[in-house]
Each structure stands twice: as structure tokens, then as C-alpha cells.
Structure 1
Amino acid sequence: MQSIGFVVFPNFQVMGFAAITVFEVANFVAQETVYSVSLLSEQGGLVRSSAGFSVETEAFDGKVFDTVIIGAGAQIEPSAPALLDFVRRSMQTSRRVAAPCTGAFVLAEAGVLNGRRATTHWFFARQLQKRFPRLKVEEDRIFIIDGPVWTSAGMTAGIDLALAMVEKDLGPEVARSVARKLVVYHRRAGGQSQFSALLELEPKSDRIQKALDFAKQNLRSTLSVDDLADAANLSPRQFSRAFRAETGQSPAKAVENLRVETARLLMEQGRLSMDVIADETGFVDRERMRRAFLRAFGQPPQTVRRNARIGA
């Protein structure tokens, strides 16, 4: 049985408990208790969350855990010395130490991220890099594994991190089964972007959303304004005006962003050639795809794919 110590502190963010559910469901799928989870804190007892309720915890002691996960805080605050000592000790005694979201700041304070690659919630990434220049922050990653240290983006990315642990421990079939029972996609690749073109567009009406859905399902097609307007049941002029008003982008730019996002995901999966990806995503040829990637990321597709392989 693998023991997991999940560390909380005053005003911890409760979304981190979603990762605990992954291990709970993994036990159900495996039909045995593979994982046991203990909630830990500096002094033990009740610890109040940022949502206002409290949870019962055990105090740090000499117990050794296979995996230690540092919870995220609602705000970035200095860590207690006892917490930092616990992290440093765990680096010597545990198989892996993980920190979703702002938990990376705790690892950085403890010095265990020096010389390592790490990620965190995109909103705090620049702050993490500025405060701790000895680590390499990759702000657009879902999660990163650097030796025994695992870090992830914020909120639901903790689920991806926990699913990756289950996959490493019990295999991909168990991880996929856990994901299905949680009603989530099988874990996103660690190198996948934290950002989504559809989320950034945020249309306000069903008609514009319908046009975007149509575009994403038909990226190999030309996707003219007339095509998108038909999907939205609007005239081309009405559609163009409404689309820009709701999304802040032209239809052509939005379609390019969707193509770039889809192409990037295919590159991170690593199974298709650049020519096939360009064709599948509607860029037609590699040169058009290269120019679009330079506009979006300032990097050519080859660099994006290489970085994903390094992350993997």
C-alpha cells in the first residue's frame, strides 16, 4: 500500500482535494486499497480552509510517506519553518514530492526547486520566477515532472497530476478507468498548454458559440466567413460584426487560433508528422503552419514539439 501525505495549512484552497478523489477512485478500480491518504498540518487538529470550513489533520511527525503533496493556498504567504523542514525531510524520505498550483511556492521556499523545472497556475508564474530565479518556471505547462518533484498548474490541473501518478503506479488502463469514473478526459499531457482558444474567446451568445463549435469540428475545411455565418444563422455582415463584438477577434484570427491550438496538441502527442498535422488542422502546408505558430508563440512548430518531448 502506498501512503500519501496531503499537507494543508490555514486558508488552503479546497480544490486540491480533487486530487485525493483520484486516489480514492483508483482504489475502487483496482479493487484493493492501493493508496492511503493522510491529511497533515504543522500542529494537527482542525485547519480552516479558504471556503470557511475546517478539516481534521495529523501533525507532522517522523512518519514516512511514499508521496507527499503540498496543498495550494488561496493567497501567497510565507511558509512556516516547520512546513519547510517537513518538505526538505520528505525530499530525502519520499519517492516523490508534489505541489499543485501555488504549492510550488512552498517547494521553492524550501529550496528543493533550485536548478529544476517547475510550473504553477499561470496567474502566479511570473511571480514565482521573479522570487526564485534559481528555478526554471514553464508557465504554460499542465504539469512537470523533474526527478522526484512534480508540480502542476492550478485548479483542475491537480487532477491531471494525480492521474499521471496513478498511470505511473498502476498503468494507463487503470488511469483511463479512473478518469472515466470521474467524468473527465483521460489526463491531459503534462506539456499541454494551460490555455484554451475557446475559453479565451468566451462568446456571449449561443449563435457565436455554435459557429465556433462548427469551426473546431471542421478545421480541415476552408472555413470562410460565409461558412461560419451559415452555422450561426446570420448574414455574413451581421456575423462579422457580432463575432468581433463578443470575442474581440476577427473570425479569421479566431479560426487560426483554434488551428494552432489543435496542431499544438497533436504535436505534443507526438504521433503524427508535421505534414499530416498541417493537413489535419487546415493549414494545408507546413510553411503556413510555421508562420501561424510564430505569430501565436514566437516559436516554430519544431521547437514546440521538442519542448513537449523534453517535458515528457
Structure 2
Amino acid sequence: MPENDPAPGLRVGFILARRFTLSAFANFIDVLRLAADEGDRSRPIRCSWSVLSASRDPVRSSCGIAVTPDERLGDPSRFDYVVVVGGLIDQAETLDPEQTEFLQRAAGAGVALVGVCTGVFLLHRAGLMNGYRCCVSWFHHDDFLEQFDGLVPVSDRIFVVDRDRLTCSGGASSAHLAAWLVDRHIGRAAAQKSLHIMIIDAAMAADDPQPGLPLELNSRDPLVRRALLLLQQNLDDPPSVAQVAERLQVSRRKLERHFTDRLGMSPSDAFLRVRLSQVRMLLGRSDRTISQIAAETGFCDASHLIRIFREKMGVTPEAWRQGAAPLEKV
């Protein structure tokens, strides 16, 4: 940092879990980088950031790219925030003892802790989330419930700020949480600049919904979860119930029984809920035409989508987009 420049207004340390999610880390840190300096010069003037570890050995991400830490753990009070970036569920079971002790010292010193992606799992295991609300991706909602009895995470919002604990669902939401921090400590103009350079139209608020499965469709039943995930991955050309059963190598009757027992609805009704949830998300977040949204969510054409949407939601898609708030009848 040049001698005449003031101390950074936002100082962030990162701890990367083994097999961490590279996109979540990159989105977060690039918002800081772009907010830190004029233009795209990337000098750590208004923000500073460091990747921390006990050994400084490279940490390999889930995609295989390795990141070499900048500093040893040291004194946590030199940071305003310490961000834990999680990774694959089966790989990110625990932090190293030195990392856990560092985070506990950070909490004791009043440093805010941030859990990104499955980083909140690691913070919970370190005993640092007791009494706090937290956010996880809808994709990991059931994994969280299985691992932490009595704790129900927020899985329908992109991030949660609860006093000195901040958590987000990962992916693009990491950029929005980082922008929230930049807005708070540096200013809104710096936050908007970062997002615009990253081709993100506008900052999303904490209570904006995650794109994904409707929360009421979460189930611990492996067969139901696999069926819903299969649909989620093929929204533009949704498979029929019979095709899903065939892909999962079960009978249609068995699949229907599991949905009825676990969700109280048929697979076809659940699949339609998922598609209409995606329609509502696209209506609220984009300027796509109704025809484009219909194609992306597996409806034959705009007329088909309008008819089904009006039947289930009580209004047309365009009326929903303009701010109508009907009772949901799905």
C-alpha cells in the first residue's frame, strides 16, 4: 500500500476449507478487489484481503485449482471479518485445530465471522453459531438438518446477517454479500461499481429468494430428493414422471408413493411447483419475455404458461411481474 494512502476501511481474512468452492471464493474476493481502488487497478487501498492458514501449504479447491495462502493465521484482530469458504459436504467435515482455535480467538476479539457456501457447517462444528440464524443453499438444506439436530437454517434467502455472524448460500450470493459489506464500510458507489464490472445488474438484498426448489418441497427421503434434483437440472425439457422413475430405476408406483407419503402430493404436482417457482423467480429478476420464460421452464409456449400460471396463481404472469399479490393456490 502506498505510504500516503489511508488504512483500508474493510480488512478481510479468508480461511479456505479443503476442496472449497472456487466460484464462491472468487466472487467474494473480486467484489473486494474492484471496490478497493480506482478503475480496475486492484490495489488494496480501500479494502484489503489475505488468505490465511497455519502452514501456508496450497489449498486445493473442489475443481482442482489450488490457492497458496498469503499469511499465517496470527492475530485475528487485524481483520474486520474472517470468511470461511466451505466446500464439498463429504470433504469439509472439520477445520484443522489451529484454524478452529483462530476462529474462536477471532470471535472472542469481536471480529465478525462469515460462512460462505458450506462454511457455515464448519462454523457450527467449531461451536461458533450457537444462538445465531444462518443461511445455507436449498441444495444443502437437508444435509444441514441431518448433521445439526434442532437447528433449522434459512434456505429461501441468499444471505443472512445476524449481528456478527454473516452466512450465505454460495455461488453468486457471495458477490452480493461482499457488496453488502462494501456498501456498509466503503460506500454504495464502490459496491455498485464492483457489481457492474462483474456484469451483475444490481445488488440483491438479504431477503431476496434463492433460485431453487420451493422450501416446502424439502425432504429427507433420498428418492424424493433425487427426483426433484433431476427435474431441477432439466427444467427446460422436464422429464415425465414415468421418465424420472425409469432414470431412478424404480417403478412409477413406488415414486408416487414416496411423494405422497413425504410431501403429501403427487410427483406431477411437485414438479409443477418447481417449474412455477422458477417462473416467478424469472419474472421478478429479469426482463425476459413470457415466451422466453416458457421455453426455459418447459412449457410449450407462452399461451400454455399463461393458462397454467393463471389457473394456479390467480393472475397472469405479466400481472404477477407488475406487482400483483394473489393468494397462491398451487
Smaller-chain TM-score bracket: 0.5 to 0.7
Residue 62 of structure 1 is matched in structure 2 by 75
- Residue in structure 1 matching 2:48, options 4, 23, 36: 36
Alpha carbon RMSD of aligned pairs, Å? 4.0
Offset at residue 250 of structure 1 (A): 5.4
Do structure 1's residue 74 and structure 2's residue 88 form an aligned pair? yes
**Judging changes above 3 Å, is the alpha-carbon distance between structure 1 residues 256 and 81 closer, same or farther for their aligned structure 2 residues?**
farther
Equivalent AA in structure 1 for residue 51 of structure 2 = L
Q: CA deviation at 1:217?
A: 5.7
SS of the residue corresponding to residue 68 of structure 2 reads strand
Alpha carbons 1:116, 1:135 under 8 Å: kept: no
Please tell me whether the aligned partners of residues 37 and 46 of structure 2 are also in contact (alpha carbons under 8 angstroms).
no
Q: Do the aligned partners of 1:96 and 1:149 also contact (CA within 8 Å) in 2?
A: yes
Quick check: 1:24 aligned with 2:33?
A: yes
Residues 76 and 106 in structure 2, CA contact (< 8 A), matched pair in contact too: no
Aligned equivalent of 2:18, options 10, 22, 46: 10
* Letter of the 1:43 counterpart: S
8 Å CA contact 2:135, 2:157 repeated in 1: yes
Shift of 1:29: 4.1
- Residues 280, 116 of structure 1: CA spacing in aligned structure 2 closer, same or farther, 3 A cutoff? same
Question: In the alignment, is residue 176 of structure 1 matched against residue 185 of structure 2?
Answer: no
- The change in CA–CA distance for 1:157 and 1:46 in structure 2 (over 3 A counts) is same
For structure 2, the residue ranges without an aligned partner over 5 or more in a row are: 1-7, 214-231, 238-278
- For residues 120-149 of structure 1, the C-alpha deviation after alignment (integer angstroms, 9 at most, x for no partner) is 121112221332235441111100000000
Shift of 1:185: 2.3
CA displacement at 1:95 relative to structure 2: 3.4
| Structure 1: 5+ residue stretches without partners | 205-211, 233-238, 264-276, 296-312
Matched, 1:117 2:102: no
Cα pair 2:31 2:178 within 8 Å, conserved: yes
- Please tell me whether the aligned partners of residues 116 and 136 of structure 1 are also in contact (alpha carbons under 8 angstroms): no
Q: Which moved more, 1:141-150 or 1:125-134?
A: 125-134
- When the two structures are aligned, how many residues end up with a matched partner? 250
1:252 is the counterpart of 2:307 = yes
Which residue number in structure 2 is paired with residue 52 of structure 1? 64
SS state of the match for residue 142, structure 2? helix
What is the CA–CA distance in structure 1 between the aligned matches of 2:283 and 2:86, rounded to whole Å?
A: 37
Name the aligned partner's letter for residue 88 of structure 1: Q
Counterpart CA distance in 2 for 1:90 and 1:23 is 21
Give the AA of the match of 1:14. L
Residue among 87, 91, 115 paired with 2:103: 87
TM-score, normalised via structure 2 length: 0.64
Give the 3 Å change call, closer, same or farther, for CA 29–128 of structure 1 in structure 2. Answer: farther
Relative to structure 2, which stretch is displaced further, 132-141 or 64-73?
Answer: 132-141
CA offset digits 1:187-213 (Å, max 9, x no partner): 21111110269x888435xxxxxxx89
- Is the CA contact 1:163–1:187 (under 8 Å) kept in the aligned structure 2? yes
* Corresponding residue of 2:322: 280
Work out the CA distance in 2 between the residues paired with 1:279 and 1:59. Answer: 50
Q: Deviations over 1:96-155 (max 9, x none)?
A: 211111001011111221121111121112221332235441111100000000000121
**Counterpart-to-counterpart distance in 2, 1:257 and 1:29:** 49
Name the CA shift for 1:138/1:243 in 2 (closer, same or farther; >3 Å): closer
Q: Which moved more, 1:91-100 or 1:11-20?
A: 91-100
Contact 1:29–1:178 (CA under 8 A) maintained in structure 2:
no
Q: State the partner residue of 2:265.
A: none
Cα distance change of structure 1 residues 23 and 214 upon mapping to structure 2, 3 Å threshold: closer
Partner of 2:119: 103
State the secondary structure of the residue aligned to 1:40.
Answer: strand
Per-residue CA deviations over 1:76-112 (Å, capped at 9, x if unaligned) read 4321332222222111225321111100101111122
Percentage of identical aligned residues: 22
Q: Deviations over 1:26-79 (max 9, x none)?
A: 012498701111111232232222222322113322343211000121234321
